[in-house]
Structure 1
Amino acid sequence: MNKIDKPHAIPQFNLYGEINESLHRDAEFIHIEDISTRCKKNNWQINPHRHGVLLQVFCMFEGEIKVKLDERHHLLTGSWVIVIPSGFVHAFEISSETKGVVLTIAEHLLTTNHDQSNKDCFTPLLQSPQLIEFKEEDVLLKQLKNYIKQIEIEFNSAETEQYIMLEWLVKATVLTLKRQLHHFDFQAITNNKSYQIINKFRDLLEKNFTKQWPVEKYASILCISPSTLNRLCKEVVGKSPKTTIQHRLYLEIKRRIIYTDDPLDQIAYNLGYKDPGYFSRFFKKLEGVSPRNYRNNKMDL
């Protein structure tokens, strides 16, 4: 991938860089198109960006995709689905032989208007990017292709209640992906109270991590004690809430160092650090180098 000039902020697009403010207000947004339709217009390369309110599902049934998710690079061939929730930086290089579709969904569609047990079915695919592999013999691959085909037909139709049908098909598609990803009993996990609390914690963290809230603040909002939050977080996530908070900040620091040319002091202030020196020490403790050296090293790649 060619070196790309850094913007002043990480590009945040609605759909493929097309600025349309109505999409931010449209909780019912669903879009589908062939990978080739869009990507060949961009020389089969999509530069680093993220989306504010959209979940994107890249379904590749044949070909090759090089995908970058934050700092991690992946080379995928064959049948894969790449699920990218809002807020995550991603980029692609796609071979011209690649066949598949891109399904774009307003996340609001999957997170509201459900009872809690149904809503939690979608959370694993809304919290972090997922790379989901399918084998040709997988029953769920055939099911996925059938849903995709029905979405394409409905998307291009003018039938009455079109959007209701699209909503049902999209939800069936996302649940199919979840089944392929996890292969476990959905009802057991969606009824798990610990899982529900940690999902709420993650959602709070995503919305408030720049405020530098202590663990006690999150626990208070969740109406549990800090020790309970600590125990549940370790059970579900495998690390303490304090570490989870630190790692979210650490990830965002790396994103802004790599994908923007904002001064380091400005990045520190924007992420809630009043002392740039503490910001630098925090980053160096986790990364092993200072923010400045980290940026210089990335510029040389």
Structure 2
Amino acid sequence: MPAHSNEHTPKRQRSRRIPNYALYGDNAPAGGSNMFNFEWIPERSPLYGWEIDPHEHQSLIQILMLTEGHGSTLLEDVHWPLRAPALVVAPAGRVHGFDFKPQVNGVVVTAAQKPLEAMAQIVMPELLNTLRKPLAINLPEQGRYSDGLMPIFLSIEREWRLAAPGQVAAGLSLITALLVQIARLNETLEPSTWPAQSRKALQLERFRDLIDEHMRHRWGVSQYAEQLGISAGQLTRLTQESLGKSSNALINERVLVEAQRELIYTNSSIKQIADGLGFEDESYFGRFFRKHTGLSPLSFRDQELERLRSTQ
């Protein structure tokens, strides 16, 4: 397995501003309007010399399957060597990048994370862990893992190119089926299959887990830092150096994602959502939401529900 090229590592370590894209190289729309997208790696990567610099998709998850060749991926603060067949999952808001060797091939599915999470909560709540955890793994060269995944990817491609009525429903259902297969793979493969993570990467992942657990309690940075056994300053340096954002920004992003999901996919009132997310009152929640989105919670709900109706 090739190691990540040292030639590119310093540049990435120096970078502090992580761009947010809809698809790599495209400006991110405010609402993340595309429900899903399908591409083959050679459609986009050669335009950038086969090197995709660190970036994030604030509302989109990406699932990549490398079918030929090799390279490496950056997930958060860790470089993972890849050789086909390999699988990468980059959830919404997770910093990632790629260095491919020329002549690689594979598929990339990009999808709106919030509707997938809403579906998972209904049909398989444990699938949320698969949706929210970054993954990079080299699969056995022969076996049922890659054999079982590629037919679903190809079905997603057919649905993407068909543009028939019900395309969104069929596409998101197929992506959910793909995620189920990935969850099964996680349960089946031996731990020795996974590359070792650095201490910083483990701390970041533990921080994200704590945010998921306590975001409704409106914990501050110092409370998370205490649980991690480090100071608030150390936690902020960790996220700033690894992700290009403060610890508080990471907390607020997760709260905002949950607020948006509940506004779109539940019938809860604004007050109920504010209470459930630990805000002192509905007005405070409204100010928080407007600051980060430019819209009131009600305006956002109306806009997104109208957009969803237009895609049916």
Q: Please tell me the TM-score bracket, short chain as reference.
A: 0.5 to 0.7
Q: Among the aligned pairs, what percent are the same residue?
A: 21
| Partners of 2:120 and 2:162 in 1: CA distance | 27
Structure 1 stretch 247-256 or stretch 173-182: which is displaced more? Answer: 247-256
Query: Are the equivalent residues in 1 in contact too, given 2:16–2:240 (CA < 8 A)?
Result: no
Distance 1:151 1:252, change over 3 A: farther
Whole-Å separation in 2 of the counterparts to 1:242 and 1:111: 29
175, 181, 197: which one aligns with 1:176: 181
CA contact (8 A) 1:210 1:271 kept: no
Cα distance in structure 1, aligned partners of 2:209 and 2:241:
28
- Which residue does 1:211 correspond to in 2? 220
**Matches of 2:248 and 2:154, distance apart in 1:** 48
**Normalized against structure 2, the TM-score is what?**
0.61
- The CA distance in 1 between the partners of 2:232 and 2:104, in whole Å, is 34
**Structure 2 Cα separation of the partners of residues 256 and 109 of structure 1:** 29
Structure 2: gaps spanning 5 or more residues? 1-6, 190-207, 252-312
8 Å CA contact retained: 1:122, 1:174: no
Aligned to 1:91: 97
Correspondence for 2:128 among 122, 128, 149: 122
Counterpart of 1:227 in structure 2 is none
The change in CA–CA distance for 1:81 and 1:258 in structure 2 (over 3 A counts) is: closer
CA displacement at 1:36 relative to structure 2: 1.0
Q: 1:39 aligns with which of 34, 41, 45?
A: 45
CA distance in 2, matches of 1:207, 1:56: 26
In 2, distance between residues paired with 1:32 and 1:207? Answer: 34
Q: Whole-Å Cα distance in 1 between the matches of residues 41 and 187 of structure 2?
A: 26
Question: Which of residues 247, 256, 268 in structure 1 aligns to 2:240?
Answer: 256
Match of 2:70 among 64, 68, 84: 64
Using the TM superposition, give the Cα deviation of residue 57 of structure 1 relative to its aligned residue in structure 2, in angstroms: 1.0
Find the aligned partners of 1:271 and 1:54 in 2 and give their Cα distance: 16
Equivalents in 1 of 2:26, 2:217: separation in Å?
A: 27
Q: Give the length in aligned residue pairs.
A: 226
- Per the TM alignment, residue 117 of structure 1 is displaced from its structure 2 partner at its CA by 6.0
SS at match of 1:141: helix
Partner of residue 143, structure 1: 148
Q: Rg larger in 1 or in 2?
A: 1
TM-score, normalised to structure 1, is: 0.63
**CA distance, structure 2, for counterparts of residue 93 and residue 170 of structure 1:** 25
2:19 aligns with one of 5, 11, 21: 11
Query: What is the aligned partner in structure 2 of residue 235 from structure 1?
Result: none
d(CA) in 2 for partners of 1:249, 1:205: 20
